[in-house]
Amino acid sequence: MKVLLASLLTLTVLLPWETNVASPADVANSRATPLQVFLVRHAEKVDASSDPALSEAGLQRAQALAHTLRDAAIEHIHSSDYIRTRDTAAPLAELLGQEVSLYDVEALPDLAEALRTAGGRHLVVGHSDTTPELVTLLGGEPGPEINEASEYDRLYLLAIDTAGNVTTTLLRYGEGPP
């Protein structure tokens, strides 16, 4: 028995072992995944208070957003922690069976870095000021300032390839301003 055990130990030491250790290039390539980010301002709100709900028009716009993005293969949904942004994201999250991740509007550079690191397809629901700022932080072109009073239909699509090249596409969804 001792001879058999010694033989097995010798074979174990002499046989080459396969390892799953990745080279530095493999690690870098595994992190370099394309990123697509859809960004919108929250839908219409009931009033100008600090944390209002969506109006009826806003609820309809949130449904229109879900309809528009239903086949876009969104993997992650992000919202600032306000009723109007969470409620704008909710119909798509429900349709896709996903949770909405909350982010801090005061930490947009952190969100931009997290998106770049994650890769994949994301929806980010923000505000008239934070949405263009995040577009810029991701290397995109925000276009003209959002009209705070009436512009709720702007939908950005940022496509960022593995080399970091950014393509910005500005779309519209739902009903336009009155």
Per-residue pLDDT averaged across 122-126, rounded? 99
Query: Which of 143, 108, 139 lies closest to 126 in space, CA to CA?
Result: 108
Per-residue pLDDT averaged across 111-137, rounded? 98
Q: Confidence band (pLDDT; 50, 70, 90) for 32?
A: low
Task: Check: pTM over 0.85? Answer yes or no.
Answer: no
Whether 26 is covered by a domain: the verdict is no
Query: pLDDT per residue over 47-69, tens digit each?
Result: 999 999 999 999 999 999 999 99
| Secondary structure element (H or E) that encloses residue 178, with its range | none
List CB contacts of 80: < 8 A, sequence separation 6 or more. 102, 103, 104, 105, 125, 126, 127, 130
Q: Give first-to-last CA distance, the chain, whole Å.
A: 89
How many structural domains compose the chain? 1
Q: Confidence band (pLDDT; 50, 70, 90) for 177?
A: confident
Whether 113 is covered by a domain: the verdict is yes
Whether 134 is covered by a domain: the verdict is yes
Share of the chain above pLDDT 90, in %: 79
- Domain of residue 55 covers 34-172
| Secondary structure element (H or E) that encloses residue 81, with its range | none
Query: pLDDT per residue over 136-165, tens digit each?
Result: 999 999 999 999 999 999 999 999 999 999
Whether 21 is covered by a domain: the verdict is no
Looking up residue 58, the CATH number of its domain turns out to be: 3.40.50.1240
Whether 1 is covered by a domain: the verdict is no
Whether 9 is covered by a domain: the verdict is no
Whether 10 is covered by a domain: the verdict is no
For residue 165, the Cα-to-chain-centroid distance in whole angstroms is 17
